[in-house]
């Protein structure tokens, strides 16, 4: 049982996730108040990883809904097992329609998607609604009942209530804003790129095999790169991959003139790589 934000931060650290005091306090309050938690921030700052680590800390089954444009109820909440319904009809030709109709639209014939699965689960779960900003406003409105009451309404069956109230985590990369109605139902955390000191700690935690000099050099280099006007700034996970790539090349420290072929691990767009290569020529002479 988590008794304080510090307790939560320590538990998360044991699961390999480093969280600052402010975010730990906000997340602790979301759990204590049994409110959904909306985690926003740039891609790659650890929003999804925080949810995964929390599921392990809370010892809850993880149910994940990956959002995308065009996501609808049939993929997110439920669908009907039409083949099984058809078989029921074929085996019940002599029965009255009213009786058959009740059977057809019952829990036996429903296919539970992630949202309904989290409501029906007999064991505690963590529901991760990942990258909600990729879905449309209609789907966002549909979520309001679940976020407010931990229940869902299926037209053919009525309202279904959660058997064990799920922990709900939503993430967003801020590609679009959300309605006031959704924000009112959530407690909010905004994650951004870590400070130099914290990123060094993260790298030490995730890749302890790296030399102290290489770890420091890489984090300082990435912090400098993030100040450039790039299409996509490097994420924490890309920092880790970049450091591991240099280590695989047996580098004990980072030297600008030895980065040929490695920048594609850190940056994902050719224009960004070209821009950084041009900037490296200036940095080498400084």
Q: Is residue 94 part of a domain?
A: no
Residues 137 and 10 both lie in one domain? yes
- Domain residue limits at 145: 5-77+113-190
Name the band, by pLDDT with cuts 50, 70 and 90, for residue 128.
very high
Q: Within this chain, do residues 141 and 276 fall inside the same structural domain, yes or no?
A: no
Q: What does the pLDDT read at residue 156? A: 81
Structure confidence at residue 107 (pLDDT): 77
40-72 pLDDT, tens digit each = 999 989 999 999 999 999 999 999 999 999 998
Task: Determine the Cα–Cα distance for residues 85 and 83; give it in Å rounded to an integer.
Answer: 5
Q: What is the pLDDT of residues 5-34, one digit of tens each?
A: 999 999 999 999 999 999 999 999 999 999
**Where does a domain end: 190, 215, 243?**
190
Q: What's residue 98's pLDDT?
A: 61
Contact 52, 89 (CB under 8 A): no
Structure confidence by residue, pLDDT tens digits, 247-256 = 999 999 999 9
193, 236 contact by CB (below 8 A): yes
pLDDT of residue 99 exceeding 80, the answer is no
* Residues 168-201: tens digit of each pLDDT: 999 999 999 999 999 999 999 999 999 999 999 9
Assess if residue 98 is contained within a domain: no
Q: Judge whether 83 lies within some domain.
A: no
Q: Taking 60 as the threshold, does the pLDDT of residue 102 lie above it?
A: no
Q: Residue 162 has which token pair?
A: 């959660």
User: Across all residues in the chain, what is the average pLDDT?
Assistant: 92
Residue 1, pLDDT score: 74
Q: Shortest CA distance to 181 belongs to which of 36, 65, 281, 282? A: 36
Global pTM?
A: 0.87
Last residue in a domain, options 134, 159, 190? 190
Predicted local distance difference test score (pLDDT) of residue 67 = 97
Residue 157 sits in a domain of what CATH number?
3.40.50.300
């Amino acid at each position: 049982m988590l008794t304080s934000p510090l307790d939560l931060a320590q538990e998360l650290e044991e699961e390999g996730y480093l969280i600052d005091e402010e975010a730990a306090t906000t997340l602790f309050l979301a759990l204590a108040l049994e409110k959904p938690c909306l985690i926003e921030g740039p891609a790659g700052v650890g929003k999804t990883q925080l949810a995964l680590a929390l599921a392990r800390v809370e010892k809850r089954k993880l149910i994940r809904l990956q959002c995308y444009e065009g996501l609808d109820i049939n993929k997110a909440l439920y669908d009907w097992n039409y083949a099984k319904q058809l078989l029921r009809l074929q085996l019940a030709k002599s029965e009255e329609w009213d009786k058959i109709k009740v059977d057809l639209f019952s829990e036996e014939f429903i296919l539970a998607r992630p949202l309904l699965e989290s409501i029906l689960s007999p064991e505690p779960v963590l529901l991760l609604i990942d990258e909600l900003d990729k879905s449309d406003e209609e789907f966002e409105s549909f979520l309001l009942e679940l976020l407010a009451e931990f229940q869902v309404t299926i037209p053919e069956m009525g309202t279904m209530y959660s058997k064990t109230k799920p922990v709900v985590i939503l993430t967003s990369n801020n590609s679009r804003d959300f309605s006031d109605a959704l924000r009112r139902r959530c407690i909010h955390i905004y994650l951004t790129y870590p400070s130099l000191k914290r990123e060094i700690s993260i790298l030490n935690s995730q890749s302890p095999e790296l030399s102290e000099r290489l770890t420091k050099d890489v984090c300082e280099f990435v912090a400098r790169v993030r100040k450039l006007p790039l299409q996509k700034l490097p994420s924490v996970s890309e920092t880790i991959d970049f450091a591991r790539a240099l280590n695989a090349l047996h580098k004990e420290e980072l030297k600008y003139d030895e980065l040929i072929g490695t920048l594609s691990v850190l940056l994902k767009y050719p224009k960004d790589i070209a821009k950084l290569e041009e900037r490296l020529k200036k940095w080498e002479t400084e």
